[in-house]
Structure 1
Amino acid sequence: MSTLVCFHAHPDDEAIATGGTMALASAAGHRVVLIVATDGELGFTVPGAAETPEELGAHRRAETQAAAAILGVHRVEFLGYHDSGMAGEDTNDHPACFAQADVDEAAEWVAAILAEERADVFTIYDDHGGYGHPDHIAVHNVGTRAAELAEVPSVVWATMNRDKIREQMAGAAEIVAQLEKPMDGDPPKMDEDMGSPESLITHGIDVSSVIDAKRRAMVAHSSQIAADSWFLKMPEEIFVMAFGHEWFVDPADPRSAGSPMIDHLL
């Protein structure tokens, strides 16, 4: 059996971006390890979830542990850096935030975990952090260096399929229009710089067989995903359409034009 290590920036990122992949790996008998850089104390907060950033951080660690248990994760490590906040905010300059971390110092910490676990596959984010979040970019930079230090055999970038998202949003709009009871709120909008074009994606993992576990792991992050949010009110068909595949880029082995994506990491 092999060991999969997934490196994420904030609580809930693991459930959304690689939750299905982790669940599949665990169900197949592989060891699954999760590393989380920050406690996500500056992320969206459901009213009443916590009174202080410290309380919120502790609450979100507990939510991450609960989500990890649902997904079959064997070990969770929190690095404890401050959340940097969204790009352009003053919090990006906080000396203790992850975006300001010394890359080599943080990488040595992560590399020690990778070496201890004898990681076979290590997931980080793409080189622009999916959508430009400073902590996601830091995960890419720190993770890349850590993988070099630990000599991990396979490093892949978790990303979003930009082309597929456009197709899905159009399809979801048609399904929603046919619902007897309209959904409240607006769906998320597509950013031109979000994710990666399909031509660069090397791995497309079908996680529909574990979609219930993935959805329950997302629900576990109740301090930042409200019960009446767009994500959790989606009809099953739309949820599978949106979250039933997870996408990765292998920078060391680009996909040739016309060749199929690989459907597994392990």
Structure 2
Amino acid sequence: MRHTCLFFHAHPDDEALLTAGTMAGLARRGHRVVLVLATAGERGLTSTALRDSGLGGVRRAEAHASARILGCARVAFLGYADSGHVGTPAAPAPAPGGAQPFASADVEEAAGRLAALLTEEHADLLTVYDPAGGYGHPDHVQVHRVGYRAAQLAGTPVVLEATVDRTLLLRGLRAASWVHRFPPQFDRDSFRQAYGARADITHRIPVKRYWRAKRASLAAHLSQAQGGDSERTLAALGRLPGPAFRQVLGTEWYIQRGLPAGPVLRDPLATLAGTAPTAARR
């Protein structure tokens, strides 16, 4: 059966980092994949030249390029402003009638916009983020709130929280600190509460076979590989040799709340296909 899967992200490039392999895999299996972005990411870190040229427009184009690589059938923007995060430039004063920062948007109003897309697409699956918003970006936390409410409004049957296995993340950060220069404000210990606890993860999706599409999706977000006071994550990942890239980024993780007990699943559509276990997980 052909399903429609809507991937909801806060900014362009979030899809490349967290869900690109899953998206490419679903598209190649014949499912309809839709990318929805809350903002254009106009307050992301980048070079001065790119910022002066209008970063929001640049990142919109990058999102469309990434989506084409991954096989998406549609890209939609909810139209909110990037709220920024610690270390990003100060936000300009909003123009009268300008876009509302996503993090402070009314949840019901934003959920209504997303629910309209879910209903229009007859979506069977929606991805959001874990309650922490991964690493705590306010727009990512809002994706969690808005996404769950929208799924409730639209009656979308499956909601998956895109996350990272926290245990593996902490190990990786320790190893990376030997070869990567993190910025002075980077606090590795803050990640002890970031993303998902291993015990909560319900889906561990193997995406090594789609590594070329995932790497090309990352490369499409060129603006996010430059700027800032240290090497950018996208630039570092893009330089990894193929075998290392497959090892580091060859798995994507999700949490489905209330999923019946059983082994960790390897297919994002498993519960729609009726192949998930039946006893209560939690």
- Relative distance call for 1:75 and 1:31 in structure 2 (3 A) is same
CA contact (8 A) 2:170 2:192 kept: no
Deviation at 1:234, TM superposition (A): 2.0
- Relative distance call for 1:91 and 1:251 in structure 2 (3 A) is farther
Aligned-partner Cα distance in 2 for 1:214–1:139: 22
- After TM superposition, the structure 1 = structure 2 runs for residues 218-233 of structure 1, keeping only pairs within 5 Å, are 218-226=218-226, 229-233=235-239
Q: Which residue of 2 aligns with 1:180?
A: none
Q: Which residue of 1 aligns with 2:163?
A: 159
CA contact (8 A) 1:168 1:241 kept: no
Q: Which residue of 1 aligns with 2:274?
A: none
Deviation at 1:100, TM superposition (A): 1.0
Match of 1:48, SS state, is helix
Match of 1:96, SS state, is coil
Match of 1:49, SS state, is helix
Aligned-partner Cα distance in 1 for 2:87–2:144: 19
Q: Which residue of 2 aligns with 1:147?
A: 151
Computed over aligned residues only, the root mean square deviation of the Cα atoms, in angstroms, reads 2.6
Aligned pair partner of 1:263 in 262, 266, 271: 266
Calculate the TM-score normalised by the size of structure 2: 0.82
Q: Provide, for residues 54-79 of structure 1, a one-character-per-residue CA deviation record: whole Å limited to 9, x for no partner.
A: x1101100000000000000000011
Please, which runs of 5 or more residues in structure 1 have no aligned partner?
Answer: 178-182
- Relative distance call for 1:185 and 1:171 in structure 2 (3 A) is closer
Q: Which amino acid aligns with 2:224?
A: Q
- Relative distance call for 1:92 and 1:138 in structure 2 (3 A) is farther
Match of 2:253, SS state, is strand
Please, which runs of 5 or more residues in structure 2 have no aligned partner?
Answer: 270-282
Aligned-partner Cα distance in 2 for 1:93–1:100: 15
CA contact (8 A) 1:92 1:134 kept: no
Aligned-partner Cα distance in 1 for 2:157–2:76: 21
Calculate the TM-score normalised by the size of structure 1: 0.87
Deviation at 1:235, TM superposition (A): 2.6
Q: How many residues align structurally?
A: 253
CA contact (8 A) 1:204 1:248 kept: yes
Match of 1:196, SS state, is coil
